[in-house]
Amino acid sequence: MPAKVEDNQRRGWIVPVGGAEDKDSDPVILRRFVEISGDADARIAVIPTASRLDDTGARYERIFRELGAADARSLEYKRRTDVDHPEWLEYLRNATGVFLTGGNQLRISTILGGTHVARAIRTANANGVSIGGTSAGAAILSEHMIAFGDSGATPRAGKVSLAPGFGLTNRIVIDQHFRQRDRIGRLLAALAYNPFAIGVGLDEDTAAFIDGDDRLEVMGSGAITIIDASKLEHSSMGTANDGDCVCMTGIILHILNGGARYDLHARVATPPPGTLD
């Protein structure tokens, strides 16, 4: 469950990005992330835990500063013992935005899961702080995270593995590099287990900006595939053998490009402004 939002607070933005977002020529996604994190007053904590590279965090520090943030700092959590670093935790608790880099989401969950770093991120979001992440950093944001799975258009039993994420929201299951790595089958399979959540498949260079009322807006050069299984008539996931295709009927699909919106409570899609005839 997401951390409790106090009565006088509004939950902060949740911003999953599909990976490979533009960082140079026209970084609209990262620029907007700075804006919703306080703009010129933004202090952004970068968490490069997913990445095995040494310079991932420093790169985002530089980008966020160039985009006008007051400060940005990479907190180099690389093993579980790092979570006791007092200065990093202090920075995290005072941040106005937190951004998780790409890499492997299981590195984030195994290194930070159950620590006060994860708790600090959950509390921050409940108190209005923007939490974003790209690729693996997007996957970790929701309660049910796709850890790994086979690519392909067909959902197959046993071919997607879920793990607990940070749990900032339990409304969605996120998948990333969506078009680029052919992942609709594994996202469908993830929803076939339990269709209460909404599947959000993010193309590269594409982000979902989800406000405190769970209204999602699409930004970037790709599309977001929304899979709404709430009207599911049948799923064979309960009886399918390992590797079998899963039979699913009655799924609702929306393909949303930049400017389109989706209300995660009402389950209503709205095209970009000006495109309705």
Residue placing its CB nearer to its own copies in the complex, 188 or 197: 188
Q: Given strand 71-74, what is the order of strands in its sheet?
A: 71-74, 43-47, 97-100, 130-134, 14-17, 206-210, 215-220, 261-263, 268-270
Verify binding: residue 266, its own copies, rule CB under 8 A: no
Residue placing its CB nearer to its own copies in the complex, 53 or 268: 268
Residue placing its CB nearer to its own copies in the complex, 122 or 183: 183
Question: Hey, which residues between 144 and 203 contact its own copies (CB under 8 A)?
Answer: 151-155, 178-180, 182-185, 188, 201, 203
Verify binding: residue 28, its own copies, rule CB under 8 A: no
User: At closest approach, how far in Å is the CB of 225 from its own copies?
Assistant: 6
Verify binding: residue 113, its own copies, rule CB under 8 A: no
Cα–Cα distance measured from residue 246 to residue 270, given in angstroms and rounded to the nearest whole number? 30
Q: Retrieve residue 223's tokens.
A: 């599309």
Verify binding: residue 251, its own copies, rule CB under 8 A: yes
Residue placing its CB nearer to its own copies in the complex, 87 or 233: 233
User: At closest approach, how far in Å is the CB of 271 from its own copies?
Assistant: 5
Task: Give the one residue of 105, 167, 225, 264 binding its own copies; rule: CB under 8 A.
Answer: 225
Cα–Cα distance measured from residue 31 to residue 25, given in angstroms and rounded to the nearest whole number? 12
User: At closest approach, how far in Å is the CB of 190 from its own copies?
Assistant: 13
Helices 116-126 & 86-94 angle (0-180, nearest 10): 10
Verify binding: residue 7, its own copies, rule CB under 8 A: no
- Under 8 Å CB-to-CB from 66, ≥6 apart: which residues? none
Q: How far is CA 9 from CA 167, 187, 215, in A?
A: 18, 32, 17
Q: Retrieve residue 157's tokens.
A: 């039993």
Residue placing its CB nearer to its own copies in the complex, 20 or 168: 20
Verify binding: residue 123, its own copies, rule CB under 8 A: no
Q: Retrieve residue 36's tokens.
A: 């919703």
Q: Of the listed pieces 65-73, 93-101, 130-138, 225-233, which binds its own copies according to CB under 8 A?
A: 225-233
Verify binding: residue 256, its own copies, rule CB under 8 A: yes
SS3 60: helix
| Cβ atoms of residues 205 and 21 within 8 Å | yes
Q: Retrieve residue 48's tokens.
A: 């490069």
* CA angle (158, 163, 170) in 5-degree steps: 110
Tell me which residues are annotated as active site: 135, 177, 204
User: At closest approach, how far in Å is the CB of 184 from its own copies?
Assistant: 5
Task: Give the one residue of 50, 131, 190, 248 binding its own copies; rule: CB under 8 A.
Answer: 248
Verify binding: residue 275, its own copies, rule CB under 8 A: yes
Cα–Cα distance measured from residue 262 to residue 271, given in angstroms and rounded to the nearest whole number? 9
Chain residues that interact with its own copies, rule: CB under 8 A: 151-155, 178-180, 182-185, 188, 201, 203, 222-223, 225, 227, 233-234, 236, 239, 244-257, 260, 269-272, 275-276
